[in-house]
Each structure stands twice: as C-alpha cells, then as structure tokens.
Chains A and B, each alone.
Chain A
Amino acid sequence: KQEVTQIPAALSVPEGENLVLNCSFTDSAIYNLQWFRQDPGKGLTSLLLIQSSQREQTSGRLNASLDKSSGRSTLYIAASQPGDSATYLCAVVSIQGAQKLVFGQGTRLTINP
C-alpha cells in the first residue's frame, strides 16, 4: 500500500527566504506526483505535476523535483512572500491498484512579514 509522508508538518520562516518542502513515498512505481496548495478551509489548487519520466518542473518561483528511485520529491519556493502562507500537499498516483491519488498530510507553511 502506497504511503506518502511530508516533513515538516509545519514550517515558519521570515519573508524573503528560500525554502524546501519534502515529500516521500514508499512505492516508487508511480505514474506521476502532484503538488497542491490549500488555503485554510478552501479547495486544492494544483501547483505542479511531475510525470515519472521527469526530474523537475518549474512554475514561477516554484520548482518541484522528483527522484523516483529513492521515493522523494521536493518543492522549492524561492523568495518567499506572506501570500505563500498555506498548506502544501503532495500526492502520487501509483501504477499498482486502481491508479488512485494518494496524499501526504501536508506541510503548513507560514511566511512572516
């Protein structure tokens, strides 16, 4: 059974810092990995989608990497801003089973002005 873990559970940093959020998964046989952002009590916004054949994806100040063999992904946020404060979730689609999206529990990020 696929399990996804995100560390740390919460992170607080001053504005302007570069930061890294971590995601690990137990079964490396995946189709893809998706990073989402969730504001409190709100829906999920897709940030980046990395296919199993890719090593990284970039969107603006965000860069996500994928090391499938080691079961790890990182989300790098450059020059953080208070508006980046949210919960960040990673999720994978495993090849085994019914190709369902399996989530980590998220990292709650706070950027302090």
Chain B
Amino acid sequence: DADVTQTPRNRITKTGKRIMLECSQTKGHDRMYWYRQDPGLGLRLIYYSFDVKDINKGEISDGYSVSRQAQAKFSLSLESAIPNQTALYFCATSDRSPGALNGYTFGSGTRLTVV
C-alpha cells in the first residue's frame, strides 16, 4: 500500500456541486498539505495542517475548506465547484522536524474536472 493514498483518483463533477477529496497516510507524520497543480503555474499550496487542531490557509484557499479528521486523514472540500478549480490535486505529508528534514511525501494525485 502507498504511504499517502488519495481518493478518488479521477473525478468529473458539475459546476455548483460539493465534492470532497480524501487523503490518508501511513507515514505517521504530523503535518499534512493540499496542493493543486495547473499547467504553467506549478504546484500551489491550498491548506496545511501541522496537527489535528492546527489548520492554516495556504496561498490559494478561497473556494476550498479542509478537515483533519485524525492524524492520518486530511480531506479537502470544494463547497460549490467551479470550472477554474479543474486541476490535479496532491496531498503531501512531512514530519514535525524543523524544515521537514526527512522531506515531503506526496500522494498520486486526484484529477478533478469541473464541467
């Protein structure tokens, strides 16, 4: 099993629908992140969580919300999906050492298409 698992792998949804992307990890890491990747724009941070009770906005949080249900689970929700949220979404984890000295681990991504 993968260290960081994202579900679903692919999703097509209609404008205005609510959708949840899920992430679970077996790394035992405290810190979890959601990124989106768009062609030409690279990976941008949406939200991050340093532990279950610590959730922070990233650079592009508008239109998104998150829930950290447990140390191992971090979900990203689009309350009312819009077409410009079509992107590849990644979940990542890191340990709590300063600067994540053991690096980041990424999931395989969720390809979301909003029509």
Contact = CB atoms under 8 A, between A and B. Distances in A.
Nearest to B44: A103
Contacts, number: 62
A100 B107 CA distance: 17
Interface residues of A, number: 26
Contacts of A99: 98-100
- Mostly, the A contact residues are strand
Nearest to B103: A49
Interface in B49-101: 56, 58, 88, 90, 92, 94, 98-101
A42 B108 contact: yes
Given A31-B99, A32-B101, A100 B109 contact: no
Given A31-B98, A32-B100, A49-B103, A105 B90 contact: no
A105 B106 contact: no
Given A41-B88, A43-B90, A46-B104, 8 more contacts: A30-B99, A34-B104, A43-B106, A43-B107, A44-B90, A49-B103, A99-B100, A104-B42
